[in-house]
């Protein structure tokens, strides 16, 4: 009788230990899955920001390099700048503070290039390139922080 009780007790103990171990493994798997989903979301936000910034750059070049000052160019500019500000807000929500700052500064420069002018810069690229380079460097660091650049375009 004692052997049956000991055997039964050991069996229950083994089942509990196995169950706890399985729960820990599942918890770690779910955590890793959440982290990967968040990383993919951040990569998509960075991609979208880059795409919208490129759209604003095109309009800024049209205005300052090709001297296109017509209403259609300004309408495209307003739309592109608004889209870039929206993308910048998503960066602010999901990305690191360093990357947020670089995206904000570049968005501000792009906005100025399209809506306000390029101050005393001799051309649009001299006006945009410093903040563009700072942004691209921050994007590179952000992607490294998120686990590598392999996620872009995936």
Nearest to 91 by CA among 132, 53, 34, 54: 53
How much is the pTM? 0.81
Statement: 40-151 belongs to CATH 1.20.1440: yes
**pLDDT of amino acid 82:** 98
Domain ranges of the chain: 40-151
The model's pLDDT over 56-101, given as tens digits with 9 standing for 90+, comes to 999 999 999 999 999 999 999 999 999 999 999 999 999 999 999 9
For the cut 80, the answer to whether the pLDDT of residue 132 exceeds it is yes
Nearest to 42 by CA among 96, 123, 116, 97: 96
**pLDDT of amino acid 151:** 47
Nearest to 48 by CA among 76, 92, 87: 87
* Confidence label for 154 from pLDDT (cuts 50, 70 and 90): very low
The model's pLDDT over 7-45, given as tens digits with 9 standing for 90+, comes to 777 787 788 878 887 788 788 888 889 989 999 999 999
């Amino acid at each position: 009788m004692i052997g049956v009780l000991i055997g039964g007790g050991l069996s229950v103990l083994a089942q509990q230990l196995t169950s706890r171990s399985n729960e820990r493994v599942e918890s770690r798997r779910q955590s890793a899955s959440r982290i990967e989903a968040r990383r993919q979301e951040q990569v998509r936000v960075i991609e979208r920001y880059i795409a919208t910034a490129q759209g604003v750059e095109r309009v800024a070049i049209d205005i300052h390099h090709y001297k296109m000052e017509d209403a259609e160019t300004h309408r495209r500019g307003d739309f592109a700048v608004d889209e870039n500000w929206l993308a910048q807000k998503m960066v602010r929500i999901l990305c690191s503070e360093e990357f947020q700052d670089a995206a904000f500064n570049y968005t501000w420069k792009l906005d100025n290039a399209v809506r306000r002018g390029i101050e005393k810069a001799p051309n649009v690229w001299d006006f945009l390139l410093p903040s563009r380079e700072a942004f691209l460097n921050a994007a590179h660091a952000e992607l490294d922080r998120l686990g590598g650049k392999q996620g872009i375009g995936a």
